Amino acid sequence: MLLVNNHLKTLSLRVMRYALHGTILILICVLSTSALPSFAQKERKLIREGNTLYDKGKFKEAEMNYRKALDANKNSPGGLFNLGDAVYQQRNFEESSKIFGNLAGSNLSSTEKASVFHNFGNSLLEAKNYEKSILAYENALLKNPSDKDTKYNLEYAKLMMKKQQQQQKQQQKKDQQNKDKKDQKKNEQNKDQKQDKKDQQDQSKKISKEDADRMLEAMKKDENKTLQKLKKDKTKVQQVLIEKDW
Task: Supply the CATH number for residue 90's domain.
Answer: 1.25.40.10
- Tally of CB atoms within 10 A around 197: 10
Tell whether 148 and 223 lie within a shared domain: no
Q: Is residue 158 part of a domain?
A: yes
Q: Is residue 66 part of a domain?
A: yes
Instruction: Report how many domains make up the chain.
Output: 2
Tell whether 162 and 236 lie within a shared domain: no
pLDDT tens for each residue of 24-76: 222 223 333 444 567 788 899 999 999 999 999 999 999 999 999 999 999 89
pLDDT interval class at 197 (50, 70, 90)? confident
Tell whether 118 and 43 lie within a shared domain: yes
Q: Is residue 243 part of a domain?
A: yes
Q: Which of 143, 166, 189 is the last residue of a domain?
A: 166
Q: Is residue 184 part of a domain?
A: no
Q: Which of 125, 143, 166 is the last residue of a domain?
A: 166
Tell whether 155 and 205 lie within a shared domain: no
pLDDT tens for each residue of 124-175: 999 999 999 999 999 999 999 999 999 999 999 999 999 999 999 999 999 9
What is the number of alpha carbons within 13 Å of residue 183 lying toward its C-beta? 6
Q: Which residue did the predictor score with more confidence, 105 or 18?
A: 105
Exposure string for 50-66, b = 16+ CB within 10 A, e = fewer:
bbebbeeebbebbbbbb
Tell whether 115 and 228 lie within a shared domain: no
pLDDT tens for each residue of 74-122: 989 999 999 999 999 999 999 999 999 999 988 899 999 999 999 999 9
Residues spanned by the domain of 205: 198-246
Task: Please report the DSSP string for the chain in residue order.
Answer: ------PPP---HHHHHHHTHHHHHHHHTT--GGGS-HHHHHHHHHHHHHHHHHHTT-HHHHHHHHHHHHHH-TT-HHHHHHHHHHHHHTT-HHHHHHHHHHHTTSS--HHHHHHHHHHHHHHHHHTT-HHHHHHHHHHHHHH-TT-HHHHHHHHHHHHHHHHHHHHHHHHHHHHHHHHHHHHHHHHHHHHHHHHHHHHHHHHHHHHHHHHHHHHHHHHHHHHHHHHHHHHHHHHHHHHHHHT---
